[in-house]
Amino acid sequence: MPWEFARIMAPLREFLDELRSEGTISLVDGRPAFVDRLYGEVYPLVPAANGFIGALEIWERRKGIDMHLTPLKQLVKRIEYDAPVTEKELDTAEDSYRVIWRAVGDMTLGETVELARDFDIQINLERVVA
């Protein structure tokens, strides 16, 4: 399971690394994108990141923990609105990543499956309401 966890976290790590080293992010058709290098899939960055964060928010509530998601959410919002990102904002988003890595890395297979199921239910409920 650690390899699956690393694969899930890889696009976020690559996004942060690219932003840090290049000062920019990957674009596909002029839009920020996550690239799943294992399968060659490309996902729009903002909805993908917001979905990932949404799943983590479920986990936070369930476990009563704080994964410090706010800086990451703020960074995604800045990307969404094509706003400049400061070094401090990137630093705090990377701090969030480290907290997420530790917290999610401790999840069992059963917890992972349960979280994925609950997140899928949440997405489908949001579609019905919208």
Nearest 5°: the CA angle 54, 9, 74 is 45
Please state the separation of Cα 128 from the chain's center in Å. 24
Tell me: the pLDDT tens digits for 70-90? 999 999 999 999 999 999 999
0.85 exceeded by pTM: no
Q: CB under 8 Å to 98, separation ≥6 — which residues?
A: none
Q: Cβ distance 104 to 50 under 8 Å?
A: no
What count of other Cβ atoms lies within 10 Å of the Cβ of residue 53? 18
The CA-based angle 118-123-128, given to 5 degrees, is 125
Q: What are the tens digits of pLDDT across the range 96-127?
A: 999 988 888 778 878 878 877 877 787 777 77
